[in-house]
């Protein structure tokens, strides 16, 4: 299934962190490519099983779905799908990991 989405950051703090990255930063470039991809297809990532959703995401955001998008250099972007109304789908970026070690720690792998 292909469905376009609007892409947002889960919080102004996270968006500010992203915007503070240098335009030449490889992770920023990779995230920008991912945002374009999610705008075209919200389901472009890999859905994470509900039982594997870290408790911190459940507690902080009350989400009921979680998706992973593989960035370059084994980095990861984590997002959830939601909507502001019944028509528009939103890919909300929760976090990105610039090391596989940090990703594994968050997900207790």
| Total-model pTM | 0.94
For 5-15, the pLDDT digits (tens) are 999 999 999 99
For 17-66, the pLDDT digits (tens) are 999 999 999 999 999 999 999 999 999 999 999 999 999 999 999 999 99
How many other C-beta atoms lie within 10 A of the C-beta of residue 76? 21
Which residue segment(s) compose the domain that 41 sits in? Answer: 6-106
Q: In what order do the strands lie in the sheet with 89-97?
A: 6-9, 89-97, 76-83, 66-70, 46-48
Q: Using CA atoms, how far apart are residues 18 and 8, in angstroms rounded to an integer?
A: 11
| 103 pLDDT more than 80 | yes
Residue at 33 is within a domain: yes
Report the number of distinct structural domains present in the chain: 1
Residue at 87 is within a domain: yes
């Amino acid at each position: 299934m292909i469905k376009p989405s609007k892409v947002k950051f889960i919080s102004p703090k996270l968006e500010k962190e992203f915007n503070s990255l240098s335009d030449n930063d490889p992770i920023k470039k990779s995230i920008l490519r991912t945002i374009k991809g999610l705008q075209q297809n919200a389901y472009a990532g890999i859905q994470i099983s509900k039982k594997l959703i870290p408790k911190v995401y459940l507690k902080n955001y009350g989400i009921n779905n979680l998706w992973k998008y593989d960035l370059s250099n084994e980095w990861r972007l984590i997002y959830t799908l939601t909507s502001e109304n019944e028509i528009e789908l939103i890919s909300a970026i929760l976090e990105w990991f610039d090391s596989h070690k940090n990703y594994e720690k968050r997900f207790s792998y």
